Amino acid sequence: MDKVVSAAQAVSHIRSGDVLLIGGFLQWGTPETLLKALLERDVHDLTVVSNDTGTGETATICLMQQGMVSRIKSTYIGANSHSGQMLIEDPASVELIPQGTLAERIRAGGAGLGGALVEVGLGTVAAEGKPTLEIDGKTYLIERPLRGNVALIYATVCDKAGNCFMKGSTKNFNVIMPLSADIVLVEAESIVDVGELDSELIHVPGVLVDYVCQREDV
Amino acid sequence: MNAKEIIARRAALEPSDNNLINLGIGLPTMIANFVPADVEIVLQSENGILGVGPKPAPGEGDWHIYDAGGGLVTVKPGAMFFDSAYSFSLIRGGHVDITFLGALQVDEQGNLASWMVPGRRVTGMGGAMDLVVGAKRVVITMEHTQKGTPKLLAACTYPLTAVGVVDRIITELAVIDVTPKGFVVRELAEGVTFKDVCDVTDAPLIPDDQILKMRLAGVDNREDDRC
């Protein structure tokens, strides 16, 4: 099955009010081509779930500057000035989450788990309003699963069926998020025929991926 | 030698051979430069690398290979890449031997405040909460005061990163352990007295039975190391 479309076609599946899972870590391995295509859409009230909401040089900040983003769930927003501004103006719109907890909540959302039990955050603001559970004498926070309507994913190589390879440290959240979204959009530096990508190198199976587009030079 | 280099050279003596180490951003990244040649450590970058090597030469490097600060790095032979869930399984699961990181405040219960100053712009905790809860050993590397204001306190006043996690603090003045009795001074830097450290610490300090002179990696440490 050929899943290759244009970036504009891929992002046409995003609706106002959607929760978007956006891969990448700081300025690297973010789905820039998909995000730029999304800038052309008339959608709003989006929730961005992302490790860090990118930097001043990546495109997530442009979505925010255009007023398309209402909420953020992230671990670190120090490199995106607009996220910092959202936190000041409307603290309830920004949820800061310990990085491993964010990864595990997304993983739980895609792995059929009712959440994750973590010690991380106990005794800090990250525990506020969250129930705890005691198991074998240890106290854990109950962290809820986190899913998205659409995942926007970067891949280094993707075949036409959506099988993805992420080189080096671009795996980050790009490998986890495809399990946890209803629709998965991938942009790839290189798109190849099925069979050209060594099965031993596939990090995300094509069965999880709905649409694939070519990454433009960024 | 400036304060940061003293701290980094002392911290470089903490790892044992074959330790998995995580270095925070800033001062802790200097530590790798001073680890003795006969101690092999494996550096993790929490964005998904085990086996981080030196930075590439300017203009070189592959943008797919970068560390948690966003800077390009190289990797050592035998390095591995993985996703963030696996990376934090290593971290939370107790597989990191030592995490070195800076702090805003540490108190005598081992509570750590390192991510948020009230009234200042909040950037988020990143992976710091996970690291200090999950690592086998938490070593704080920081200057002893913030421009004269004590950072070692009886009780932290800033929002916490974690409760009761700090094992050791290394400053340019001293090596101090968090114990059930409170802060115990184990080592003093050259020319520094116990009283000097007490004067810039806002918590009771307990002198170790035999305080040692602070050893520094790559520097001839005197044979008589009693202070």
- Could A87 and B85 be called an inter-chain contact, meaning their C-beta atoms sit closer than 8 Å? no
pLDDT for the residue B226: 60
The residue-averaged pLDDT of B171-199 equals 98
CB neighbour list of residue A4: distance below 8 Å, 6 or more residues apart: A160, A191, A211, A212, A213, A214
With vertex at residue B111, the alpha carbon angle to CA B10 and CA B188, rounded to the nearest 5 degrees, is 30
Q: Which two tokens stand for residue A133?
A: 């559970």
pLDDT digits (tens, 9 = 90+) for B34-88: 999 999 999 999 999 999 999 999 999 999 999 999 999 999 999 999 999 999 9
pLDDT, averaged across chain B? 95
The pLDDT of residue B224 is 56
With residue A86 as reference, give the H or E element that holds it: helix A81-89
Q: Evaluate whether residue B133 is within a structural domain.
A: yes
Structural domain includes residue B224: no
Q: What is the mean pLDDT of chain A?
A: 97
Residue B219: CA count within 13 A, CB half-sphere:
18
Residues of B with CB under 8 A from a CB of A: 45-49, 62-70, 81-85, 87-89, 91-92, 111, 116, 121-130, 133-134, 159-163
Tell me whether strands A46-49 and A19-22 are parallel, antiparallel or unpaired.
parallel
Say what the pLDDT of residue B20 is: 98
Please give the pLDDT value at position B25. Answer: 86
B125 and A75 within 8 Å at the Cβ level: the answer is yes
- Asked whether residue B44 is assigned to any structural domain, the reply reads yes
- Cα–Cα distance between B32 and B30 in angstroms, integer? 6
Q: In the Cβ-directed half-sphere of A166, how many Cα atoms lie within 13 Å?
A: 31
Interface touch A176/B64, C-beta < 8 Å: no
pLDDT digits (tens, 9 = 90+) for A19-69: 999 999 999 999 999 999 999 999 999 999 999 999 999 999 999 999 999
In this prediction the ipTM stands at 0.97
pLDDT tens-place string over residues B8-25: 999 999 999 999 999 998
User: What pLDDT shows up at residue B221?
Assistant: 65
d(CA A25, nearest CA chain B) in Å: 7
**Topology classification of domain A7-113+145-214:** Glutaconate Coenzyme A-transferase (3.40.1080)
pLDDT of amino acid A72:
98
Distance between CA A202 and CA A110 in Å, rounded? 18
Q: Which of B14, B46, B108, B187 is catalytic?
A: B46
What span, in angstroms and rounded, lies between the C-alpha atoms of B215 and B178? 19
Is 90 exceeded by the pLDDT of residue B225?
A: no
| CB contact (8 A) between residue B48 and residue A171 | yes
Helix (H) or strand (E) holding A164: strand A164-165
Collapsing DSSP to helix, strand or coil, A136 comes out as: coil
Long-range contacts of B60-64 (CB under 8 A, 24+ apart): B62/A167, B62/A168, B63/A28, B64/A28, B64/A29, B64/A156, B64/A167, B64/A168, B64/A169, B64/A170
Percent of residues, chain B, with pLDDT higher than 70: 97
User: Looking at the 3D structure of chain B, how many domains does it have?
Assistant: 1
Angle at the Cα of A172 from the Cα atoms of B66 and B51, rounded to 5 degrees = 50
Chain A residue with CA closest to B132: the answer is A120
Report, as an integer, the average pLDDT of A171-199: 98
Q: Which pTM was predicted?
A: 0.96
Shortest CA gap A46–chain B (Å): 21
Residue B40 is among the residues annotated as catalytic for this protein: no
CB contact under 8 A, A101 and B67: no
- Nearest-CB residue to A100 (from B70, B82, B127): B127
Interhelix angle for A99-110 vs B84-92, to 10°?
120
Domain ranges of chain A: 7-113+145-214
Smallest CA–CA separation between A78 and chain B, in Å? 4
Give pLDDT, residue B26: 87
Mean pLDDT, rounded, for A179-197? 98
Closest residue of B to A101, CA-based?
A: B130
Mean pLDDT within A158-166: 98
Q: Check whether B223 has a pLDDT greater than 60.
A: no
Yes or no: say if B10 and B139 are a contact pair by the CB < 8 Å rule. Answer: no
Place of tokens 């030469």: B57
Chain B residue numbers with beta carbons less than 8 Å from the beta carbon of A130 are: none
pLDDT given for residue A217 in this prediction:
82
* Chain A: residue whose CA lies nearest to B120: A88
Min distance A16 CA to chain B CA atoms (Å): 27
Return the percentage of chain A with pLDDT > 70, whole number. Answer: 100
Q: What is the pLDDT of residue A14?
A: 98
Q: Is residue A131 pLDDT above 80, yes or no? A: yes
Q: What CATH number has the domain bearing residue B29?
A: 3.40.1080.10
Print burial letters for A58-73: b (CB count within 10 Å at least 16), e (below 16): bbbbbbbeeebbbbbb
Mean predicted confidence (pLDDT) in B104-132: 95
Q: What is the mean pLDDT of residues B140-152?
A: 97
Average pLDDT over residues A126-130: 96
**Residue range B193-220, pLDDT digits in tens:** 999 999 999 999 999 999 999 999 998 7
How many residue contacts between A and B have a Cβ separation below 8 Å?
143
pLDDT score recorded for residue A81: 95
Q: Which domain holds residue B130?
A: 3-213
Confidence at residue A1, expressed as pLDDT on a 0 to 100 scale: 77
Write down the pLDDT at residue B220.
Answer: 72
The reply to whether residue A77 touches residue B133, judged by beta carbons under 8 angstroms, is: no
CB B125 within 8 A of CB A98: yes
